[in-house]
Structure formats: C-alpha cells, structure tokens
Structure 1
Amino acid sequence: MVDSVICYRAPTTVVDVDTIADWLAERVDATVTVRDRFLEEHRADDLPERFAEARVRSPYDRETGNTMLGTTRYEERALDDPDREGGVLYDGIQVQRALNTVLPGDERDLETLHVPVLDRAIGTWGDHDGRWHKRVNVLGQPALVSVPGLYEAPAKPEEYYKEKQRHSLLSGDTPPREVLENRVEGEFLIEDDPRSTDALKGYVLQAVHYLETGESFCDREGCRLFNAHYHGDLIEAQLREPAFCDEHARLYGTD
C-alpha cells in the first residue's frame, strides 16, 4: 500500500512537476508532495562514478560504462550543473539502483514511492532484439521518469526523420518545431513541447499503479496506463479523452 508519493522537479525542463502532483493527488489514496531536483536532495560521493558506469556505449553493446577520469569528472559537473548534461543514454536499471542507495533509510520502504523526473535519457536492454531502447519511465523504487524519453523513446512518423535529415543536410541544424509540424503528417511531441506536463501525468501514475498492483502497464490503447511505442499512440493515451479504459477509470476516475 503506497501511503506517500514524493515527486521531484526537473528544473532544466519545461515540465511542471507541481501540476503533475496536483493531478495525481486527486486520483490516488496517498499523500503527494513535491521536492526539488532529486540529485540535489539526495547525494553520495560515488554517484558520479555510478552514472559513468551506467553510460550506454553503443546501441548494440550490452556492456555499459566508461569510468575514465574525464568521464567521471563530466558526471560530477553534470550533477552540480544539470544544464551541462545532455546527449548521453544511461542504463535505467543501473541508475535506479544507484538512486535507491541514496534514499534516506526511513523513506526506502515501499509505502513511500519516490518519483524523480529526470532531464536525462534512460533506456533498457532488449534481449529480444539485442539493442538498447529508450524509455519514458522505469518502474520500481525509485520510479524514474525521463523528460527526454518522452520525446525520443516512442517512434515518430517516418516522414519526421526524413524531414529532419533533409533540413540538417541543407542548414546543418535541427529544423524548428513549426517546420516539422507543417511538413510532417501525424502528431508527435518534440523537445520542450508545451504538452509535456500533461503527457507525463500518466507515466507518473503508472509508477504508483505498479507499486500498488504489480501491473506494469495496461494493454488497452488509449488508456493513460498504456505503454505507447509510437508518438501517435502516446498522444492518444495521454492527451485524448477518455483518459482511462473502463477498468482503470473505476480506479482513477474518468477525466
């Protein structure tokens, strides 16, 4: 039984964690509070090395980690100044284990769920296809929610990648959102999307639902507990009505 949910802000992103917490508090039978960035609230001397060890080397290499001095120093700087972090994929399970070790002893029980909203990209290894997959969340304690994962993990329409490559070849940079939205059919979220806060609400609820029921995700498309693999499905599940399938609407309401 989850009695307390502690959400942690991601100040370098557009996501409003306080708004997510207010939404969550209306739907779960637990106290929901918000704290500042997890990596400022809870620290340990070995965290930079743990993050270095969790770095994904390449998409098809199961082994992780680069603990050379320069990499560890980079992770130290990223902990102190998160604006300097970016472009790295981390093994979400290893990061989860590292962050679990820095939780206060009296808050490590399963009645207290910690949900750090992170500005880092996290992934899990797929034994079925021998490659890393970016994720929006990794369930457990703490439950990790990745803002970059919201944009990068689900697949976008094929034309999006073609247009992005075409623009990059011509101008050398990433096309603005309005260019992509005007030229690519289909709906998708991109970095700093103003819909990010609403889209992450269901992913935070998934973390509570998992600890309460043991159910990872809902298999019904359109439910906020659905694990979307495509941006169109993500938008349908997180930003369209109804919010839940009939079964989960009985638990969490209909809006």
Structure 2
Amino acid sequence: MVDEVICYRAPSTVVNADTVADWLADRIDASVTVRDRFLDVHRTDDLPERFAEGRVPSPYERETGNTMLGTIRYEERALEHPEREGGVLYDGVAVQRALNAALPEAERGLETLHVAILDRAIGTWGDHDGRWHKRVTVLGQPALVSVPGLYEAPAKPEAYYEAKQRHALLSGDAPPREVLENRVEGEFLIEDDPRTTDALKGYVLQAYHYLETGETFCDSEACRLYNAHYHEDLIEAQLRDPEFCSDHARLYEG
C-alpha cells in the first residue's frame, strides 16, 4: 500500500508540481509532498554516465548508449544546466533503473512512490514493430513523467506534420505556435502549452494507481487513467469532463 507520494519539480518546464500535488492529494489516501528537481535532490556521481548509456542513437536500433568522453561531458552539463538539454531520446527503463539506484535505500520501498517529472524525452522499445516509441510515462519506482513526452509522444493531426514540413521547406526553420494553431484543425499540445500542468495530473495519478493496484491503464477514453496515443484522445482524457470513467470515479472523484 502506498502511504506517501513524493513529486519532484521540473523547473526548466512550465509544469507546476505543487498544483499537481494538491490535485492528487484531494483524490488519494496517501500523503503527497513536493521536492525540488529529482536530479538535484538525488544526484550521484555516476548519473552522467548512466544517462549516456541510456541514449537512443537511432529510432530503429535496439542497442543504446554512447559513453565517449564528449557525451559524458554533455550529460554533466545537462545535469547542471537543464535548460540547455534537448533533442536527445533516452531509454526510459534505463533511466528508471539509474534513478532508482540514486534513491536512498530507506526510500526505495513501494510504500513511498517517487514521481520524477522530467524535462527529458524518454522512450521504450517496441518488439512488435522494431522501433523506439516516445512515452509520457514509465510506471514503477520511481515513476517517470516526461514533459517533452506529453508534447511529442502522442500523434498529432496529420495536418500538423504537413504544415510543419511546408513551413520548414519555405523558411528553413520550425513554424511558430500561431502558424500551427491557425493552419491545423484539431486540438493538440505543443511545447510550453499553458495546459501542461492540468494535462499531467492524470499521468501522475496513473503512477500512483499502478503501484497501488497493479493495474496499468483504463480502456475508457473519458478517463484520466487512459493511455492516449493521439493528441485528440489526450485532450479528451485529461482536459475534458468527466475526469473519470464510472469505475475510477468511485476511487478518485475529488
């Protein structure tokens, strides 16, 4: 049984971890506290090398890792200056193992759930199609919740990718937010979206639900425990009423 949930801030993102924690505390039978960035609170000397080992060099290659000195130096700088990190995909399971090892031994038990909100993109390997897939979450201890994953993992409307490609061909750079929002029908989240905090609430609850019940995700698209593969479904599950399906409303309706 989970007695305590500890959420960790991601200060280089727009996520308000305190708001997420307050929302969660109203819905679960466990204490909820907030700490500063996981990679600061539980920093260990080997973390740069562990992150280097977890790098995904190609979306179609299972093997991970680049432990050349330059890569490790990059990871050291990313730990010190997270706002400079970006564009790298990490094996979420490898990162989870590294962060679990960084936890104090007294806090590794499953009665205390650690939820590391991260400013890094994480993925898992798909045996069914032989490629890496970006993820919002990796459930377990600690649970990983990726802010870039919220924007990048679920598929956006096809028109989004077409508009982005057209703009890049004409101007050579990424289109600004207003261009995409005006040209593409359908709702989706993009980097630094003001709805990020609200959208992440359900993913943090998924981490608690998994550890508490052993269940992964809900099959209902109208539930915050749903694992959305498309942005339209993400918005339906996380940002629209009702918050929960009838089964999970009995557990978590605030």
Residue by residue, what CA displacement relative to the aligned partner does 1:196-246 show, whole Å, maximum 9, x if unpaired? 000000000000000000001001111100000000000000000000000
Q: Which residue does 1:12 correspond to in 2?
A: 12
Residue by residue, what CA displacement relative to the aligned partner does 1:43-90 show, whole Å, maximum 9, x if unpaired? 111110000000001000000000000000100110111111100000
Q: Which residue does 1:44 correspond to in 2?
A: 44
Could you list the runs of 4 or more consecutive aligned residues of structure 1 that deviate by over 3 angstroms after TM superposition?
none
SS of residue paired to 1:117: strand
Q: Which residue does 1:252 correspond to in 2?
A: 252
Residue by residue, what CA displacement relative to the aligned partner does 1:26-48 show, whole Å, maximum 9, x if unpaired? 00100000000000000111110
Q: Which residue does 1:109 correspond to in 2?
A: 109
* Alignment of structure 1 residues 68-79 onto 2, 5 Å: 68-79=68-79
CA RMSD of aligned residues (A): 0.6
* Alignment of structure 1 residues 55-134 onto 2, 5 Å: 55-134=55-134
Q: How far apart, in 2, do the equivalents of 1:46 and 1:14 lie?
A: 28
Q: How far apart, in 1, do the equivalents of 2:127 and 2:99 lie?
A: 24
Equivalent AA in structure 1 for residue 92 of structure 2: G
Equivalent AA in structure 2 for residue 232 of structure 1: E
Residue by residue, what CA displacement relative to the aligned partner does 1:89-140 show, whole Å, maximum 9, x if unpaired? 0000000000000101111100000001000000000000000000000000
* Alignment of structure 1 residues 137-148 onto 2, 5 Å: 137-148=137-148
Q: Is 2:230 aligned against 1:220?
A: no
Q: How far apart, in 1, do the equivalents of 2:157 and 2:182 lie?
A: 13
Q: Which runs of 5+ in 2 are unaligned?
A: none
Q: Which residue does 2:2 correspond to in 1?
A: 2
Aligned residues: 254
Q: Which residue does 1:201 correspond to in 2?
A: 201
Deviation at 1:174, TM superposition (A): 1.3
Q: Which residue does 1:25 correspond to in 2?
A: 25
TM-score, length basis structure 1: 0.99
SS of residue paired to 1:93: helix
Q: Which residue does 2:154 correspond to in 1?
A: 154
Q: How far apart, in 1, do the equivalents of 2:68 and 2:226 lie?
A: 39
Q: How far apart, in 2, do the equivalents of 1:175 and 1:191 lie?
A: 12
Q: How far apart, in 2, do the equivalents of 1:174 and 1:13 lie?
A: 20
Q: How far apart, in 2, do the equivalents of 1:170 and 1:182 lie?
A: 17
Q: How far apart, in 1, do the equivalents of 2:236 and 2:117 lie?
A: 22
SS of residue paired to 1:170: helix
Equivalent AA in structure 1 for residue 156 of structure 2: K
Q: Which runs of 5+ in 1 are unaligned?
A: none
Q: How far apart, in 2, do the equivalents of 1:69 and 1:178 lie?
A: 40
Q: Which residue does 2:186 correspond to in 1?
A: 186
Equivalent AA in structure 1 for residue 241 of structure 2: E
**Percent identity over paired residues:** 82
Equivalent AA in structure 2 for residue 33 of structure 1: T
Q: How far apart, in 1, do the equivalents of 2:60 and 2:202 lie?
A: 30
TM-score, length basis structure 2: 0.99
SS of residue paired to 1:141: coil
Q: How far apart, in 2, do the equivalents of 1:157 and 1:166 lie?
A: 15
